[in-house]
Amino acid sequence: MVFGRSERPRLPTAIKILIAGGFGAGKTTMVGAVSETRPLRTEEVLTDRGIGVDDISAVEAKRTTTVAMDFGRITLSNDYVLYLFGTPGQERFWFVWDELAEGALGAVILADTRRLADCFPSVDYFERRGTPFVVAVNCFEGAQTFELDEVRMALQLDPSIPIVMCDARKRDSSREVLITLVKHSARLRAEPVGT
C-alpha cells in the first residue's frame, strides 16, 4: 500500500536480508563489500521495559540501552531496494532480531571456522523462526582448515540448506552468497526461478 496525498511519486519496494553470525565473523565487512555506500549505523533506544525480565540484570542501573545495527543499501532497480542488516551480536539483543527478521527475505549466517560454535545460536534462531537461511563460511587467510561437509556436520545442518565458501571482503564473493540465498528462499517460498 502506498499512501499520501499524491499517487505521483513511486516508492520502491524495500526488501531486507539479514547478515548474522558471531562477533567478528565479518558481518559488517560483508555489508560494506556489497553495498553501494560504506555501512551505515542505526540505533534503537530501548527502555528496560522492552527487555525480557531475565535480561534486566544485564542492563543493571541503566534505564535505557542502545542497540546499534550496521546496514547497507543496494538499489536493485527503480522498483526494488535491498537492505542488508548486520544483526546485533549480543544474545541479549535477540528481541531486536524479531523485529529485523519480520518480513525478511532471508538470512546469511557467516561462519568463522576458528569459532564455529559462535554461529550455533543464529542457526537455531532462524531454524526455529522458519526464516530461509544459508551458511557462508568466511575464509579468513590461512583459516580454511575445514571442508564444507565437515562444517555442515558440525552445525548439524539439514542437507537442503546451502553452505558455501566466501570471502566477505570481496564484492563478487559476497554477491554470490546473496544470490545463493535468494534462490534458496525462492525454492522454499515461491516457484523455482532462474538457474
Residues that bind other proteins (CB under 8 A): 1-6, 8-9, 11-16, 34, 40-45, 64, 66, 69, 71, 73-74, 76-77, 79-83, 85, 99-100, 102-103, 105, 171, 175, 178-179, 182-183, 185-186, 189-191, 193-194
Distance CA 20, CA 39 (A): 15
CB of 179 to other proteins, least distance (A): 5
- Grid coordinates representing 159 are 542437507
Strand partners, 82: 15, 74
Distance CA 182, CA 190 (A): 11
CB of 23 to other proteins, least distance (A): 21
Positive or negative CA dihedral for 95, 161, 21, 177? Answer: negative
Nearest to 20 by CA among 84, 140, 108: 108
CB of 193 to other proteins, least distance (A): 5
Measured from the CB atom, is 119 or 136 closer to other proteins?
136
Measured from the CB atom, is 68 or 117 closer to other proteins?
68
Distance linking the first and last C-alpha atoms of the chain: 31
Measured from the CB atom, is 152 or 180 closer to other proteins?
180
Measured from the CB atom, is 105 or 155 closer to other proteins?
105
